[in-house]
Structure 1
Amino acid sequence: MNFPNTSIIISVYKDTEALGFILESLENQTRLPDEIIISEDGSSTEMSNFITTQKDRFPNLIHLTQADEGWRKNIAMNNAIKTASREYLIFIDGDCVPYSTFIQAHVENAQHGIVLCGKRFELGPKFTAKIKRNELKISDIEKKFFWYLPSMIADDARHPEDGLIFKSHSFISRQIHKRYVRHILGCNFSCYKDDFLKINGFDETYRLPAEGEDVDPSWRFRGMGIELKSCRNNANILHLYHPKRFSAVEGDVNKAIMEKHISENAFFCKNGIHKE
Structure 2
Amino acid sequence: MSKQVSIIISTYNQPKWLEKVLWGYHIQSFGNFELIVADDGSGEQTRALISQIKPLLNYELKHVWHPDDGFQKTKILNKAILASAADYLIFSDGDCIPRKDFVETHINQRAEGRFLSGGYFKLPMETSQMIQKKDIFSQNCFDLNWLKNKGLKNSIKNLKLIKNKFALSIMNTITSTKPTWNGHNSSGWKKDILAANGFDERMQYGGEDRELGERLENAKIRGKQIRYKAICLHLDHARGYVNQKSWEINEEIRKRTRNQKITFSPFGVEKQSV
TM over 0.5: yes
Distance apart, 1:56 and its partner CA: 1.4
Does structure 1 retain, via aligned residues, the 8 Å contact 2:140–2:146?
Answer: no
Question: Residues of 2 paired with 1:252 and 1:200: CA distance?
Answer: 22
Does structure 1 retain, via aligned residues, the 8 Å contact 2:75–2:201?
Answer: yes
Distance apart, 1:152 and its partner CA: 4.5
Give CA deviations for 1:203-247 in whole Å, capped at 9, x if unaligned: 1111x201112x211211111010000112211000011234424
Does structure 2 retain, via aligned residues, the 8 Å contact 1:115–1:190?
Answer: yes
Does structure 1 retain, via aligned residues, the 8 Å contact 2:7–2:35?
Answer: yes
Does structure 1 retain, via aligned residues, the 8 Å contact 2:24–2:136?
Answer: no
Give the letter aligned to residue 63 of structure 1: H
Which residue number in structure 2 is paired with residue 105 of structure 1? Answer: 105
Which residue number in structure 1 is paired with residue 159 of structure 2? Answer: 161
Report the 3-state secondary structure (helix = DSSP H, G, I; strand = E; otherwise coil) of the residue aligned with 1:61: strand
Candidates 234, 254, 261, aligned match of 1:265: 261
Structure 2 unaligned residues grouped into runs of 5+: none
User: Structure 1 residues 200, 171: CA separation in 2 closer, same or farther (over 3 Å shift)?
Assistant: same
Distance apart, 1:181 and its partner CA: 2.0
Is 1:188 the counterpart of 2:185? The answer is yes
Report the 3-state secondary structure (helix = DSSP H, G, I; strand = E; otherwise coil) of the residue aligned with 1:219: helix
Moved more, 194-203 or 250-259: 250-259
Is 1:87 the counterpart of 2:93? The answer is no
Distance apart, 1:95 and its partner CA: 0.6
Question: Residues of 2 paired with 1:165 and 1:36: CA distance?
Answer: 27
Which residue number in structure 1 is paired with residue 270 of structure 2? Answer: 274
Give CA deviations for 1:81-130 in whole Å, capped at 9, x if unaligned: 11110111111101110111111111010111111111100011221121
Residue identity (%): 26
Which residue number in structure 2 is paired with residue 209 of structure 1? Answer: 205
User: Structure 1 residues 54, 264: CA separation in 2 closer, same or farther (over 3 Å shift)?
Assistant: same
User: Structure 1 residues 90, 268: CA separation in 2 closer, same or farther (over 3 Å shift)?
Assistant: same
Report the 3-state secondary structure (helix = DSSP H, G, I; strand = E; otherwise coil) of the residue aligned with 2:208: coil
Query: For 1:5-20, what aligned pairs fall within 5 Å after superposition?
Result: 5-20=4-19
Candidates 238, 242, 249, aligned match of 2:237: 242
Is 1:44 the counterpart of 2:75? The answer is no
Report the 3-state secondary structure (helix = DSSP H, G, I; strand = E; otherwise coil) of the residue aligned with 2:16: helix
Is 1:123 the counterpart of 2:118? The answer is no
**Normalised by the size of structure 1, how large is the TM-score?**
0.87
Is 1:253 the counterpart of 2:249? The answer is yes
User: Structure 1 residues 177, 193: CA separation in 2 closer, same or farther (over 3 Å shift)?
Assistant: farther
Is 1:230 the counterpart of 2:225? The answer is yes
Is 1:26 the counterpart of 2:22? The answer is no
Distance apart, 1:192 and its partner CA: 1.2
Give the letter aligned to residue 251 of structure 2: K
